[in-house]
Amino acid sequence: MLNIEEIQKILPQKFPFLMIDRVLELEPGKRIVALKNISINESFFGGHFPGQPVMPGVLIIEAMAQAAIIMFYAPENIPGDKQASYYLGSVKVRFLSPLTAGDQLKIEVEPIKVISGAGLVRAKASAGGREVASGELSFSVKHG
């Protein structure tokens, strides 16, 4: 649905902080299903943890937030707003199962309530059919 070139055009985050590799399903403003492949080459595995690679939970939250940005601000939805800044407001996420190298992280996001300039979304993360994390994120947007 969206490849990495298209994703890079939408997300303000850049290497090495891109947490979405591909978008599988996208209904702008309504729903997104996105993927991140986790490789043993991820730099954070060097320290988290030596000899026991576990993807940091905060980065799963970051992947959820980036998926939410794509869902709301894909070009079809809001054209050409490259100056927007995104601020995470609150995070209520439960982690259910660890992620490691070789896992394919699947993120699903849908809005709970959206107003102009702010939103509250529900996000679910899974890998190979097992639930990894789920919760709610609120954020605000400032258009530049």
Catalytic residues: 48
Between 104 and 138, CB nearer to other proteins: 138
Report which of 141, 4, 135, 3 is spatially closest to residue 58, judged by C-alpha positions.
135
Q: Which of 54, 114 has the CB closer to other proteins? A: 114
Minimum Å gap between C-beta 73 and other proteins is 17
Which of 6, 22, 120, 135 lies at the binding interface for other proteins (CB under 8 A)?
120
Residue 31's nearest CA partner among 75, 61, 67, 7 is 67
Nearer to other proteins, 49 or 87 (CB): 87
3-state per-residue secondary structure call for 69-104: HHHHHCCCCCCCCCCCEEEEEEEEEEECCCCCCCCE
Q: How many CB atoms are closer than 10 A to CB 124?
A: 17
Residue 83 contacts residue 144 (beta carbons within 8 Å)? yes
Contacts with other proteins in 59-118 (CB under 8 A)? 89-90, 112-113, 115-118
Closer residue to other proteins (CB): 42 or 136:
136
- Name the minimum Å distance from CB 116 to other proteins: 7
Does residue 53 touch other proteins according to CB under 8 A? no
Question: Does residue 119 bind other proteins (CB under 8 A)?
Answer: yes
What whole-number distance in Å separates Cα of residue 139 and Cα of residue 3? 25
Footprint on this chain of other proteins (rule: CB under 8 A): 89-90, 112-113, 115-120, 138-140
